[in-house]
Structure formats: structure tokens, C-alpha cells
Amino acid sequence: MTEPIQIKTKLAGNPTQEPQFKSFVKSKDGRQIPVADPNATRALVSLMDMNAVLGGAASHYGGPAALAELMSALHGHVFDVSSREGKQWYDLFHIVNDAGHCENGLYALKANYKMAGLTLDSLKKFRSIESGLTGHGEVHCFPEGVFISNGPLGSAFPQTQGVAMGEAISGTNRVTVTTISDGACMEGEAKEAFAAIPGLAKTGKMGPYVLIISDNNTKLSGRIDAESFSMIPTFNSLKDLGWNVINLAEGNDLQKCYDTIVNAIEQAKANPIAPVVIHAKTVKGIGTKKTAESATGGHGFPLKSPSELAAFVGEILGGAALPDVFNTWIAELNKWEADIKASGVKDSGEKIQVGISSAMVRARKADFPVLSVTSDLPGSTGVAGFRKEFPQDSFDVGIAESNMVSTAAGLSKLGYIPVVDTFAQFGVTKGALPLTMGALSEAPVIAVFSHTGFQDAADGASHQALSYVAMVSSIPHVDVYSLSCSEEADALMYSVIENFAKARKEGKVPNSAVFFLGRENFPKTYVAGTSYDLRKAQVLADTTAGKTKSVAIATTGSLVPQALQAAKDLEVKGVGAVVVNCACVNHVDVATFKTVLEKTQGHLITVEDHQLLGGFGQILCHALLTADVTFKAKSLGVHGEFGQSAYTAADLYRKHKVDASAIVETTGTFFQKSGAW
């Protein structure tokens, strides 16, 4: 056997007490095994989600609700076996979650046991910048509770293939148990692992392996078979691929979940050459009638106000009286909401996505052959309005971003103008190769990749695209745009569609266009009556008149408001600023910057919520240097770190020093050695 380097685990060990809220299952030998009460898990998820919602973050109920019984049974059995054998659970098992939207259910379960340093109070900071309980499970934020990070669907499951292979190589043969959702099973990485794991196991290259699939035929946008295509053939194929398939028709029956999991683990240990898959039929959103029957299974947390919580949690608990700790928690949330209403300022802006949809609709009505090809996120990216008006021109390929871009390339070859959409992190990581191959095939596409940088604050690092510019800006024949407001989105999207059609009719091949945009609300426009040009930078503010000291602030996308605020703050200090919005990131408008830098004595600050390496600032400065423009630059961005969850992007802008105050502070370094004002 090849011995691996011994790595000390960071995972918390066995719980030292039974769950505070518990149910019982019966073991094969007749013992009553205490497990976390699934309804308590659902209730705790509801309470912690409400904290996140009040803080300004999105959250999830449906997925963790569906998995509550399976997770309770799995952990109950693992802890029972470990206790009886006198070992830590992680010395016998690997437990990995690839149902990323369900990680809050695991936080609730662990807090119920008071393990991994969690208490019920810990849950109240879920998704905030103060907590390690990020939107999806992340090792760098919560190593005591997460072995393999999850988030992008189908990404943790393939890593467990390597874990189980390592168990076979070392001869340790711990049991690897992975949980995955049916939506995640649509991803290419997952389908590759579906084939590879039993294939490798058959030749003795895998340790004992159990996969648990939570199948409720539901993804974010609705029912899988109605929105895209049925997954039944995929699940039916698992037996032919070499999996030992155990069907669990009642995946929300606690005792049946327990019995099935115990049998699956025993079979996997007895016969590692046949990995076991539990195909469990679950109900997404189970717990309340409204969430269980909704088209999306209550994917996001459905309540807007804590005043609704008592009834919601009461229904989950079957009408039983709420525990005092729940009532106290709800009272705290109600007070928080009252404080927000008393002191809060309403957000008068709108989402950039509005402009995306309006341009697409306008273009289709002008007889441009625009098609929408999505992978489950049209409501988040802004194309939902187009899809509603033109359902016959809209297609959903399932949760499969690479396949989405490649499909669009095929449509482009036949003369259509395909628009793909997903979150920026998934679009650039899973779409970069298809974008490259589309360019090589002379099959350009238009992409709408939303939730850039820290704009997907609550979901955490796995969803935060901090390298999006670097990943696609150097692909030949790809134009990259970073949008700052809905009016800009409308104008530039329509221009790209118009130019795309014009080039095709002239027998030319247009470039692909990738539009990046944020998640939160922004002003509809920054300068009334402004014009938008695909290749020209915009001067949004100029306060240099009469100032002896001034600076050019170059930015793009979601940080435009921060730059404009910095200009106002600098003016108070007697320093002028020119704020330049660069929508087209990989084609620098050198002429505009030459003029601007003459006004600011060559002082330039670039700012972005992106890694400094390969980002907008580097592209801009390199273009200016090669054009022999004289300037002194300071760049603000992310310094080779991952992000984390936060209620809003502003929290992360402050932490990573890319907000207005950081711009002001950096400006000071041009004029004073200490940088102090």
C-alpha cells in the first residue's frame, strides 16, 4: 500500500450529548436510537433563514426540508456506530454534502447536537460576515463542520470519488457517504462521476461508497421534467452503470430512511466493488402545505416578515406549541424588523436585469431571431421577462452550464442569436471552454452572467466570481462588458444584438459578447440623458474645476456607486475627481483616459471587486502603458483571497477595501506620505 501523508483533521468529533430536539428510530437489534428531530431541523432552518432575510440576504428552505429525515437518520447511525466502537465518527466515515442549498439544514442539525462549536444562537448569524456559517458549506470558513466545500452543484460529488479511491489505496477503507440533489445530478461533473465510480470500483480501486440522491423533480425554476427534461432515464441507467441501486419511495419517513441507510452502508462495506446508491423520493418544501405544493418546492425562503413565522413554524411542528426558545427567537426577529422599519431608507433603484430583459424583448419584436437558452436561473439573471413573452423561443437544458453554452453555439451556426444566462461564477468556470470552442467554430453567442464579484454576498465564496474578467477577457473574439445600471444594460444589449445580426447578414462572424452584472439594486442611470457606446468609456462625474489636487477613479460594473460616493467625499476634502465607467472591459478607450489623466496630473485609481491579478485594473494600466500615456496608478481589488458570506455586498466591499472610504484613503497616498488627511 502507498502510504499518504498524515493530515490532522479539523473536523469536530463525536457529539457529547443527544440532540436538544430529538426523535427516535429503532435499530436492528431493537434499541431506541436518538436522532435530530427532522421537524426541529425544518423549524430551525426557518428561523435562521429569517435572520438572513432581515439582514438583506437570500436563503433556502425547500432543499433542507426535503433532506431532513435522511440527514437525521444518517448522522444518527454514524454517531451510534462510532460511539459503540469507541472511535471518532471521522475515523470510520466521510460525510459529504453536494446538495449545497441544503447546508443550512446541516448547520441546524449540528447546533441541535451542540457539536462543532455550534449552539442555537450561532444559527442567528447565518450568512452574515460575522459567521463561518456561509450560504454553502465551505472548509475555509467552517473547517469544524465541512470536509469538502460545496456550492456549485455537482462539484463535491466528483471529489469524493478521489476520497474513496484514496481509501482503497491506503487500505483504510472508511465509508464515503455523499448526499446529492436531483438537480445537481444534471451537471456534467456528476454524470462523469456516475460512470467512473462503479467502473473503478469494479476493478478494486474504490473504498466502500454510498450515494444518497434526494429526488423531488424540482429545481430553482420549477419542476425538472416540465422546465427541461425528465431525469428518470438517468436514474434508471445507474444500475447498468454498475451501481447497487436501492429505491426508497418514502424519503421523508424517518424510520425507513434509517433502515435504508444502515443497509446501504452494510452492503457497501461488505462489497466495495459495487457502490451503493439510495434513490430517495423526497418532497421539496415539506413541512408546510404552501411550500410543498409550490412549483419550486419553496426553494428560497418564502416569508418576508417574522410576523409570519409563528404560524409557519407551528405548521411544521404539526400544531404543537412552539418551544420557548423558538418564541424568544421570533420575538427578537420581530423587534429587529420594527427597528429596520423605523430607521431604514427604502432602496429606490432597480435591478440591472430589467434592462437585459427589455432589450431582448425589444429586439425579438424587431424580428431579430433572439433565442433564450438557460440553465435554471432566468429569474436571477434577468431573462425571465423575455422567456415569459416568447416561450416558443426559450429553452432550458437543465442545470448544465457547459452544455448550455455549447447548445447556443450550435444554434448560432444556423443563424440564430442565442442568449445564455447563469451566475458569473458558473458561466466563466464551466463556460470558458465552450466559449472558446464556439469562437473556433465561428459560432458566437451572447452571455448574461449575473451576480459578479461580491454581489452574490450571501451564497459565499463558491458563488462569488472574483476572476470573471481574467477568465474570459483573453478568449479571442469575445467582447466583455460589465454593466452598472439597467439603462446601460438595455442600450448595450440591444446594440450587441443589432450588430450581431448586421454582421451575419453581411457574411461576417460577429464576436461573442459576455455581459456581467450584479445582483442588488442600482440607480436606473447615473447621468440623465447620457448616451451609451459599446467601446467608449463614460465620464460620470468631474469635480476637478478649481482644484489643485485631483484623481481619476476608473471602475466598472457594481462599484460605480462606490466611485461616485468617493468623488463626493473627496470634494469635501478639497480634492477633485473624475469618475470613469468602463463598461467594455477588454477594449480600453485610451483616448478618453488620455484626456482625463491630463486633468488629474496623471493620478489614477482603479477599483474592482475582482482579483487584482488579471483584472480590469491590469488590463487598463497595460493598455495605457503601451499607448505611452503618463500616469501613476494605485489599484484596489482582491488580494488573492476567497470571499465569504455576508448579508450584503457592502460588508465585503468594506472588508476587502474596495469601497468609497478605501478609494478616499488611497487617494491620500498620492498627496501625503502617510496617506492621512
CA distance 21 to 23: 7
Sorted by sequence, the CB contacts under 8 Å of residue 414 that are 6+ apart come out as none
232: which 3 cell numbers?
Answer: 428518470
Q: DSSP strand E in 182-259: where?
A: 209-215, 218-219, 222-223, 244-248
Domain 359-517: give its CATH architecture: 3-Layer(aba) Sandwich (3.40)
Supply the pLDDT for residue 552.
Answer: 98
Residue closest to 225 by CA, chosen among 170, 186, 270, 173 = 186
Residue 192 φ then ψ, to 5°: -65, -40
* CA count, 13 A, side-chain hemisphere, 608: 35
* CA count, 13 A, side-chain hemisphere, 177: 24
Sorted by sequence, the CB contacts under 8 Å of residue 58 that are 6+ apart come out as 52, 300, 301, 458, 459
Task: Determine the distance from the C-alpha atom of residue 440 to the mean position of all C-alpha atoms in its chain, rounded to a whole number.
Answer: 29
Residue 101 φ then ψ, to 5°: -70, -5
Query: Out of 2.30.40.10, 3.40.50.970, 3.50.50.60, 3.20.130.10, which CATH number does the structure's domain 30-339 have?
Result: 3.40.50.970
Residue pair 127/464 in contact by the 8 Å Cβ criterion: no
Sequence length of the chain is 677
CA distance 185 to 237: 13
Residue closest to 522 by CA, chosen among 576, 577, 563 = 563
CA distance 139 to 158: 17
The sign one gets for the Cα dihedral 617, 619, 621, 624 is negative
Supply the pLDDT for residue 367.
Answer: 98
Domains 30-339 and 539-670 share a fold: yes
Residue closest to 486 by CA, chosen among 577, 606, 616, 385 = 385
CA distance 548 to 83: 73
Decide: helix, strand or coil at residue 159: helix
CATH topology of domain 539-670: Rossmann fold (3.40.50)
338: which 3 cell numbers?
Answer: 420594527
Q: Domain-by-domain residue ranges, the chain?
A: 30-339, 359-517, 539-670
Mark the ranges of the chain whose per-residue pLDDT is less than 70.
345-347, 673-677
How many CB atoms within 10 Å of residue 79?
22
Task: Determine the distance from the C-alpha atom of residue 74 to the mean position of all C-alpha atoms in its chain, rounded to a whole number.
Answer: 26
